[in-house]
């Protein structure tokens, strides 16, 4: 199984002619992703890594029946690009840009919601279903197919976790970067139902961090709806207060709100197992898988 991206994905790359777009087009093709078209305004007729380029998402959909888009565009162009993808009727839009203005995301989030579009990111590595397809820029060499579903606000912490799981011989079903921004297109609570419904996923790993209340809300959702075992990590326990740690969303307010302690408390109260660091996650996963 796995979900969101797989062998049926027909992917568009917006920004395919840029440095990163071209590089990661090759990487995605090598991984077996069905990249059907690229879009860069003004570059219609070009071919990148064998993939035809169009000026608009609409034409790429008409010619290739595309059903998802990933955007390799600078943050200041993300709004227009994602708006185009959402309004052109693609059911899945993946944004990776780091540094997107939060009010652009406010508008995009509500637009996607009203149109029933699943918007992922920004400030995210994308999505990968190991062995099937990837849409994003993750270093796919470290991923392997298996029973662990992973979702993470941080790309680097997700890589570290996946790397250690794979090294231990434990594979992943689908790995989603929900991203580190203040308004994510999809938050943990939006992803949990997919993991719960996915037959391949036996354990859910949630990699959170300081700032906001996504983890607390996930805890409420888990208590009410999730039967699968969940492991969580909260990064940033020793981060200085009131300083954004690089992710716009990772900041502890002066009264302690957004701190790691409250999040861990809320999660362990509903039976989520807390990992102290990424390196503890594989053994926690292993003990759950063996216990079954």
Active site residues: 247
DSSP string, 215-253: HHHHHHHHHHH--S-EEEEEE-TTPPTTS--SSTT----
DSSP string, 73-129: --HHHHHHHHHHHHHTT-SEEEE--SS--HHHHHHHHHHHHHHT-EEE-SSS-EEEE
Q: CB of residue 199 vs other proteins: minimum separation in angstroms? A: 28
Whether 180 and 250 have beta carbons less than 8 Å apart is answered as: yes
Indicate the residue among 61 and 192 with the shorter CB distance to other proteins.
Answer: 192
Q: How many whole angstroms separate alpha carbon 253 and alpha carbon 245?
A: 12
| Residue 26 touches other proteins, criterion: CB under 8 A | no
Indicate the residue among 52 and 75 with the shorter CB distance to other proteins.
Answer: 75
Q: How many whole angstroms separate alpha carbon 161 and alpha carbon 256?
A: 27
| Residue 268 touches other proteins, criterion: CB under 8 A | no
| Residue 160 touches other proteins, criterion: CB under 8 A | yes
Indicate the residue among 84 and 214 with the shorter CB distance to other proteins.
Answer: 214
Q: CB of residue 244 vs other proteins: minimum separation in angstroms? A: 7
Residue 288 in 3-state DSSP? helix
Indicate the residue among 169 and 246 with the shorter CB distance to other proteins.
Answer: 246
286 backbone φψ class: left, alpha, beta (φ>0; ψ -120 to 50):
alpha
The single residue among 88, 157, 200, 201 that binds other proteins, judged by CB under 8 A, is: 157
Number of residues interacting with other proteins: please give it, by CB under 8 A: 67
152: which strand partners?
A: 177, 207
For residue 258, the 8-state DSSP code is: T
Q: CB of residue 275 vs other proteins: minimum separation in angstroms? A: 11
Query: Strands 230-235, 172-177: parallel, antiparallel or unpaired by DSSP?
Result: unpaired
Residues 73-102 that bind other proteins (CB under 8 A): 75-76, 96, 98-102
Q: CB of residue 33 vs other proteins: minimum separation in angstroms? A: 15
The single residue among 3, 143, 159, 188 that binds other proteins, judged by CB under 8 A, is: 159
The single residue among 26, 44, 58, 217 that binds other proteins, judged by CB under 8 A, is: 217
Residues near other proteins (CB under 8 A): 20, 24, 27, 75-76, 96, 98-103, 105-107, 109-111, 114, 125, 136-139, 141-142, 152-160, 163-164, 180, 182-184, 187, 207, 209-210, 212-213, 217, 235-240, 243-250, 255, 276-279
């Amino acid at each position: 199984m796995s979900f969101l991206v797989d062998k049926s994905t027909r992917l568009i790359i917006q920004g395919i002619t840029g440095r990163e777009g071209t590089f990661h087009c090759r990487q995605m093709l090598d991984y077996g992703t069905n990249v059907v078209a690229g879009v860069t305004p003004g570059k219609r007729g070009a071919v990148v890594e064998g993939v035809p380029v169009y000026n608009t998402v609409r034409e790429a959909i008409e010619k290739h029946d595309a059903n998802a888009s990933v955007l390799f565009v600078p943050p200041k162009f993300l709004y227009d690009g994602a708006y185009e993808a959402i309004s052109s009727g693609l059911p899945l839009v993946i944004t990776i840009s780091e540094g997107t203005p939060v009010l652009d995301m406010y508008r995009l989030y509500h637009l996607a919601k009203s149109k029933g579009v699943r918007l992922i990111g920004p400030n995210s590595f994308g999505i990968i279903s190991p062995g099937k397809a990837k849409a994003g820029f993750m270093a796919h060499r470290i991923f392997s197919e298996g029973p662990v579903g992973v979702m993470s606000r941080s790309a680097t912490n997700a890589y570290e976790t996946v790397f250690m799981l794979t090294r231990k011989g434990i594979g992943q079903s689908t790995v989603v970067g929900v991203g580190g921004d203040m308004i994510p297109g999809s938050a943990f609570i939006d992803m949990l139902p997919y993991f719960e419904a996915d037959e391949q996923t036996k354990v859910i790993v949630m990699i959170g961090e300081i700032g906001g209340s996504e983890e607390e809300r996930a805890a409420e959702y888990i208590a009410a709806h999730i039967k699968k075992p969940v492991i969580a990590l909260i990064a940033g326990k020793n981060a200085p207060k009131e300083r954004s740690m690089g992710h716009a969303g990772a900041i502890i307010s002066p009264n302690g709100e957004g701190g790691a302690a409250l999040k861990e408390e809320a999660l362990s109260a509903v039976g989520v197992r807390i990992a102290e660091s990424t390196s503890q996650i594989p053994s926690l996963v292993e003990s759950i898988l063996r216990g079954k």
